[in-house]
Amino acid sequence: MNDLLIEASGLKHTYRNGATSVPVLDGVSFSLRQGKAVAIVGPSGSGKSTLLNVLNGLLVAEAGELRIFGQSSQQLSQNDWAELRRTQIATLFQDGNLISTLTVSRNIAFRAGLAGLAENGGAALMDQLGIADTAHRYPDQLSGGQRQRVALACAFVMQPKLILADEPTGSLDYATAQRVTPLFFDAIRERNVGALIVTHNPELAERCDRILELREGALRPWDLAPSS
Ligand X SMILES: Nc1ncnc2c1ncn2[C@@H]1O[C@H](COP(=O)(O)OP(=O)(O)O)[C@@H](O)[C@H]1O
Phi, psi of 121 (to 5 degrees): 105, -25
Site for ligand X in 15-34 (CB under 6 A): 15, 17, 22, 24
Q: At what angle do helices 122-129 and 144-157 cross, to 10 degrees?
A: 140
Q: In this structure, what is the dihedral angle of CA atoms 141, 129, 185, 10, given to the nearest 10 degrees?
A: 0
The whole-angstrom separation of Cα 34 and Cα 13 is: 26
Q: Which is closer to Mg ion, CB of 36 or CB of 48?
A: 48
The pattern of x and - marking residues 93 through 122 that bind ligand X according to CB under 6 A reads ------------------------------
Is 56 a residue that touches Mg ion (CB under 5 A)?
no
Judged on CB neighbours under 10 Å (0-12, 13-18, 19+), 204 is buried
46: contact with ligand X by CB under 6 A:
yes
Residues in contact with ligand X, counted by CB under 6 A, come to a total of 12
Binding flag, residue 60, ligand X (CB under 6 A) = no
Nearer to Mg ion, 33 or 200 (CB): 200
Closer to Mg ion by CB, 48 or 85: give it: 48
CB of 63 to ligand X, least distance (A): 17
Decide if residue 50 touches ligand X (CB under 6 A).
Answer: yes
156 closest CA partner among 131, 188, 130: 188
Q: State how far the Cα of 189 lies from the Cα of 88, in Å rounded to an integer.
A: 17
**Residue 49 sits in the site that holds Mg ion (CB under 5 A):** yes
Q: Counting every residue, how long is the chain?
A: 228
Q: For residue 97, state whether it binds Mg ion (rule: CB under 5 A).
A: no
Using an 8 Å Cβ cutoff, are 149 and 180 in contact? Answer: yes
Helix axes 174-191, 144-157, angle to 10 degrees: 10
By CB under 6 A, residue 49 contacts ligand X: yes
Residue 182: contacted member of ligand X, Mg ion, none (CB under 5 to 8 Å, by partner type): none
Tell me if residue 21 falls in helix, strand or coil: strand
Q: How many residues bind Mg ion, per CB under 5 A?
A: 2
Q: Is residue 164 within the footprint of ligand X (CB under 6 A)?
A: no
| Closer residue to ligand X (CB): 41 or 68 | 41
Instruction: Tell me which of ligand X, Mg ion, none is bound by residue 47, counting a contact when its beta carbon lies within the kind-specific cut-off of 5 to 8 angstroms.
Output: ligand X
C-alpha to C-alpha distance for 172 and 135, rounded to whole angstroms: 18
In a 3-state reduction of DSSP, which class is residue 86? helix
- Residue ranges that bind Mg ion, judged by CB under 5 A: 48-49
- Residue ranges that bind ligand X, judged by CB under 6 A: 15, 17, 22, 24, 42, 44-50
